[in-house]
Amino acid sequence: MQPKPLTIDEIAALVREKFGDVISEPVKTPTAEFFTITDLEYLQAVMYFLREDERTKFNYLYCLSGVDNGDGSLSVVYHLESLGVHGHRLEVKANCSVEKPEIPSVAEIWRTADWHEREAYDFFGIKFIGHPDLRRILCPEDWEGYPLRKDYKVAEYYHGIKVPF
Amino acid sequence: MSLLDTKFEKGGVIISKVEDLLNWSRLSSMWPMSFGLACCAIEMMATNASNYDLERFGIFPRSSPRQSDVMIVAGTVTFKMAERVKRLYEQMTEPRYVLSMGSCANCGGPYWEHGYHVVKGVDRVIPVDVYVPGCPPRPEALIGGLMKIQELIREEKFGGNREDVKKRLAAKSAPAEEVIMAEHPNQADRSKGQDKKETEVEETAETA
Ligand code: SF4
């Protein structure tokens, strides 16, 4: 297959053509270009499309991270690359609220997402619906709270050890 | 005790206290537990390697706590690791010594404020005998800390309390300010030499 890198506008157009109005307009900042998946019902379908379609072929999820926006919403950022095929890259975001932190899992689409989603769950408490094994990955199993949330306060004691300095 | 060999050569008879002999043999074979927790461990490995060669002091890492006398806590102690560190410490046979290496193990280091997962000092988990400051401490500093443990062992008595030994050692030590401010013998020479030159210059100026 001849490599044919696409711009974010072209990719967004492909997604719109297939699924309709499920993503936002592409946002372009000096450091990043991304679009947000507004209809989470379609998140898995869009991701699967991005991986499988001949024109996009995003066969590699090279990073997945959680974000606490500080305004009562959480985000997940997906970094995709078409490794060895087209060579283009893409950033996709998905948002959820702190009250209902649920986002469909993409672990079945890219195996990399398995541990990355566990990490985002560990630090931000984002529940990935459909994840095969959603447990804490870095903090101890019995850790309380999600430490990278903006409103996180350290506990006084952990297993009898004083936590604050 | 470094005179042992010369004594052997002269008469072959040594009179010593059993206590001293035991202490000497123990301080000449301090075997640390072989584990590292973070960046400080790299410096500890460098100290073990050929440049600094800890083995010349009889110090070389053992892979089992059952065979170790010294635990070098080299690096950041997280809450997850703290329980393991504690268990390893409990598995070591007595008498055992703990050296806390680096700011992280001493007091939380760079993570003292925002490190939700870092134990702010390994002494919250196990008793520490010697603290080595630094981030990371240089190998010389680690060797200095290990020599402090040797000092501690040298002073120990049968059935004695280690805290008493520490108090005795503290009484012997010089106050830090004096050591820092003390003039180095070479430095004194040098400054004298400089004075001379300055006066010479003044003299020549006057004569001119
Ligand atoms: S004291 Fe510094 S060098 Fe040592 S483990 Fe902590 S951060 Fe790393």
Q: Measure the CA–CA gap between A58 and A56, rounded to whole angstroms.
A: 6
Q: Is A91 helix (H, G, I), strand (E, B) or coil?
A: strand
Question: Is the CB of B76 within 6 Å of ligand 1?
Answer: yes
CB contact under 8 A, B119 and A161: yes
Contact indicator for B73, B38 with CB cutoff of 8 Å: no
Q: Nearest residue on chain B to A137, judged by CA atoms?
A: B80
CB contact under 8 A, A165 and B113: yes
Alpha helices in B92-184 (DSSP H): 102-107, 139-155, 162-172, 176-181
Q: Which of A147, A159, A162 sits opposite B116 (nearest CB)?
A: A147
Question: Is the CB of B104 within 6 Å of ligand 1?
Answer: yes
The tens digit of pLDDT for each residue in A91-111 reads 999 999 999 999 999 999 999
Q: What residue owns the CA closest to ligand 1's atom 2?
A: B135
Q: Measure the CA–CA gap between A90 and A58, rounded to whole angstroms.
A: 8
pLDDT score for B207:
52
Q: Measure the CA–CA gap between B121 and B100, rounded to whole angstroms.
A: 9
**Average pLDDT for A67-95:** 93
**Average pLDDT for B115-134:** 93
The residue to which tokens 């240089």 are assigned: B138
| Chain B CB within 8 Å of residue A157 CB | no
Q: Is the interface score ipTM higher than 0.90?
A: no
Ligand 1 center to B161 CA (angstroms) = 32
The tens digit of pLDDT for each residue in B19-60 reads 888 999 999 999 999 899 999 999 999 999 999 999 999 998
DSSP A31: S
End-to-end Cα, chain B, rounded Å: 62
The tens digit of pLDDT for each residue in B127-176 reads 999 999 999 999 999 999 999 999 999 888 887 788 888 888 888 887 87
CA A76 to chain centre: 3
The residue to which tokens 């030159």 are assigned: B197
